[in-house]
């Protein structure tokens, strides 16, 4: 691609670094921005800068937050003894949208995936186990997507929790194997949390 401007070229290059954005799409987006009022580009720039400088990870559940403790963990009306284990913030948003869950979360930051070089030490599993060891947790609900990586991760955590005084359950699947949690419809997902089953039962299939 031949550019008439170095500035244009650089903007297109940076935009094309985003997933799913090729050079052509990047060029279209950049030209679109140029046609918009300058204030709009400034707001976008501010939002992106704020994202990197201002965002924190909740010190209790590791969810993305603006504050040390996220709104869910800081809410006294939530049941802190029930912890739903999820992969990332998208799962928290999906479950929150169902309005069926009143407990806390624990955001792992991914799933165990040897092929991608992601091991237990790359996730927040250790802090989850420590939380359970402290005795403050009554129930752990596994809500990872039912892919091979999700199952591996659930099982790894389950083994780490053996011998500790905590109930483990898994969300009942109206959701087909391989479906990502974030795409499940709200009614199905809400029901599957209410109708969760003991984790042991999920191992027999």
Binding site for Zn ion (CB under 5 A): 58, 60-61, 63, 70, 73
Taking the complex as a whole, the smallest distance from the CB of residue 199 to Zn ion amounts, in Å, to 23
Distance between the two ends of the chain, CA-based, in angstroms?
A: 54
Nearer to Zn ion by C-beta: 56 or 167?
56
Nearer to Zn ion by C-beta: 86 or 171?
86
Taking the complex as a whole, the smallest distance from the CB of residue 124 to Zn ion amounts, in Å, to 11
How far apart CA 179 and CA 182 sit, in angstroms, is 9
Taking the complex as a whole, the smallest distance from the CB of residue 148 to Zn ion amounts, in Å, to 28
What is the chain's length? 205
Phi, psi of 155 (to 5 degrees): -65, -40
How far apart CA 187 and CA 174 sit, in angstroms, is 10
Nearer to Zn ion by C-beta: 82 or 175?
82
Given a contact cutoff of 8 angstroms between Cβ atoms, the answer to whether 126 and 62 are in contact is no
Taking the complex as a whole, the smallest distance from the CB of residue 72 to Zn ion amounts, in Å, to 5
Nearer to Zn ion by C-beta: 73 or 171?
73
């Amino acid at each position: 691609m031949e550019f008439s401007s170095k500035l244009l070229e650089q903007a297109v290059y940076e935009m094309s670094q985003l997933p799913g954005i090729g050079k052509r799409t990047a060029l279209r987006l950049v030209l679109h921005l140029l046609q918009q009022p300058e204030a709009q580009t400034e707001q976008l720039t501010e939002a992106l800068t704020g994202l990197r400088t201002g965002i924190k990870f909740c010190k209790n559940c590791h969810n993305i937050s603006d504050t040390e403790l996220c709104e869910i963990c800081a809410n006294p009306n939530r049941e802190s003894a029930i912890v739903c284990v999820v992969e990332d913030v998208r799962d928290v948003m999906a479950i929150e949208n169902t309005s069926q869950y009143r407990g806390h979360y624990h955001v792992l930051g991914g799933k165990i995936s040897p092929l991608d070089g992601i091991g237990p030490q790359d996730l927040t599993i250790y802090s989850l186990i420590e939380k359970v060891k402290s005795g403050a947790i009554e129930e752990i609900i596994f809500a990872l997507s039912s892919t091979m990586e999700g199952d591996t991760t659930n099982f790894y955590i389950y083994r780490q929790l053996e011998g500790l005084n905590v109930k483990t359950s898994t969300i009942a699947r109206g959701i087909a194997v391989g479906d990502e949690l974030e795409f499940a419809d709200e009614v199905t997902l809400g029901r599957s949390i209410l109708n969760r089953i003991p984790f042991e039962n999920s191992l027999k299939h």
